[in-house]
Each structure stands twice: as C-alpha cells, then as structure tokens.
Amino acid sequence: MGSEERLQKVLAAAGLGSRRRCEEIISAGRVSVNGRTASLGDRVDPERDEISVDGVPIDPKVEKKYLLLNKPPGYVTTVRDTRGRPTVMDLVKGEGRLFPVGRLDLETRGLLLLTNDGYLAHRVMHPSYAIDKTYLVTVEGRLGRRGLAQLREGVPLEEGVTAPARVRVLENHGGRCVLEMTIHEGRKRQVRRMCAAVGLRVTDLVRIRLGHLDLKGVEEGSYRVLSREEVEPFLA
C-alpha cells in the first residue's frame, strides 16, 4: 500500500507550481480527488488516488517534460500519421512518449511545444486562458486599409467572427506583404482563413512566439528542453 501525502505537496511535485500556489488552486475548488472536490488539508496517495485539476487528470508518478521545437515545413503535427508522412515526433526521437500541444499546419513553421503533461497542454490550448500566439505572415496581394481594419476588428469565418487580431505591417509593396499577427484563439487554420477572408493568400507562415516563449537560439528542425520556470507562467 502507498503512503499518504499532503495534496499540495503532490500537486507541486507534479509541476503545478509552488506549494503556496497549489494551496490556492485547492482553496479555489479546482482540484478533485476520486471525483470529489478537495479541500485544503486533504491527504492523498499518489499511487492510488485519481487527482484532477480543472477536470484534467494529473499523473504525479510521471516526470514531466517540455520541449520547444522549431518545426520545419513538411512535418505533420501528430503523434502518428496514418498516411506515413514525416511527423514532428520524428524530430524529437529518443525523448520518450510526448505529444504536441495544439497544432501547426503541414506547411506552417515555427514554435511548437511537445510534452507529456496533459494539464499544461490544456492550459495552453483552452481558449479561456487566451494565450497569445504571434505569427510572421507573408502574403500575396496588397493589404489595404479596409482589410487591415477587418483583421484588427475580427473577421467573419464560417463558424463565427474571430476575436480581433493585433497586426503590425512590416512590409507592403510590390504585391507582397509581411505582417506580424497576434491572435489568442486556436481555430483550425485560423491565420490562413483570416487572411483569405480579406483577399490575401498566405505564402509563408511562421509561429514566432507563444505566450512569453520565442524561438531564440533554436534553429529550424531543432529543439530545446524547457525548464520548470519557463512553463510556470502558463500554469499561473
């Protein structure tokens, strides 16, 4: 039989932040143990008890790993591709059982996280946490005042109007335009579809930032391991 430990200690060891922070999460009623909302002072057996935070199961027994990959074009963002194409997992061989956090299209390049931490993935992807994602977007066509205003106000797509994007025009001449676009929703092919809706065709798309993280020092096709301190802001 395993032994019982304070819940906040187990959560902190599982990577959810300092013990103090974990006490706050418990007090806020966000933690459940075996399906029941936990209270401060509860003790758990990490071997046996089922612990969830915000409804996402936490496995304190697995050591958490976080990689920041600079994805090249031509790799599918999935653990296994049914059509046998190269996947992002081919770029992190030997790092164990990980999965990508969200997705970048086949031809999109840039910053992609991989982890074995389901809670981190939930926090990064769930729209309610509104994490900024910044893209360098090269398009064919000229972006006029109306198109720019529309991107900044929100663009109607099939499933509804997008949230406003923050847009900086870096170049706009000769039928080609380079934009820096920041969005916080994670709809499918969102940047490409927003651009298409204002008459622009994306020819190159790179995710350059995700929240506080950027690609500094990570060449295309390579990755680095993130520290606990680097992922903590996503959990706060």
* Sole window of 60-68, 85-93, 117-125, 186-194 interacting with ligand URA (rule: CB under 6 A): 186-194
Among 21, 122, 184, 189, binds ligand URA (CB under 6 A): 189
Site for ligand URA in 197-236 (CB under 6 A): 205
Quote the least distance from Cβ 186 to ligand URA, whole Å. Answer: 8
Interface with ligand URA includes 104 (CB under 6 A)? Answer: yes
Closest CA to 62 of 8, 121, 115: 115
Nearest approach, Cβ of residue 24 and ligand URA (Å):
33
Q: Is 105 in the site for ligand URA (CB under 6 A)?
A: yes
- State the angle between helix axes of 228-235 and 118-125 in degrees (0 to 180), rounded to the nearest 10: 50
**Closest distance to ligand URA from the beta carbon of 156 (Å):** 16
Interacting residue with ligand URA among 190, 210, 213, 223 (CB under 6 A): 190
Size of site (CB under 6 A) for ligand URA: 8
> What whole-number distance in Å separates Cα of residue 5 and Cα of residue 165?
45
Q: Select from 191, 210, 226, 231 the one that contacts ligand URA (CB under 6 A).
A: 191
Cβ proximity to ligand URA, 122 vs 187, nearer residue: 187
Whether 223 and 124 have beta carbons less than 8 Å apart is answered as no
* 76 C-beta neighbours (distance < 10 Å), count: 21
The distance of Cα 211 from the centroid of its chain, to the nearest Å, equals 9
Are the beta carbons of 197 and 155 closer than 8 angstroms? yes
Question: Which of the stretches 24-32, 33-41, 172-180, 188-196 binds ligand URA when contact is defined by CB under 6 A?
Answer: 188-196
42 annotated active-site: no
Nearer to ligand URA, 56 or 196 (CB): 196
Provide, rounded to whole angstroms, the least separation between the CB of residue 190 and ligand URA.
Answer: 4
Q: What are phi and psi of 204, to 5 degrees?
A: -155, 140
| Phi and psi at residue 2, to the nearest 5° | -75, 175
Q: Number of C-alpha atoms within 13 angstroms, CB side, residue 55?
A: 3
User: CA–CA separation, 4 vs 73, rounded Å?
Assistant: 48
Distance separating alpha carbons of residues 40 and 45, to the nearest angstrom: 15
Residue 108 as a binder of ligand URA (CB under 6 A): the answer is yes
Q: At what angle do helices 190-197 and 145-153 cross, to 10 degrees?
A: 140
> Which among 1-9, 43-51, 100-108, 220-228 is the span making contact with ligand URA, rule CB under 6 A?
100-108
Catalytic, out of 59, 81, 105, 214: 105
Identify which of 120, 82, 85, 78 has the alpha carbon closest to the alpha carbon of residue 100: 78
Active-site residue list: 105
Residues lying near ligand URA in the complex (CB under 6 A): 104-105, 108, 189-192, 205
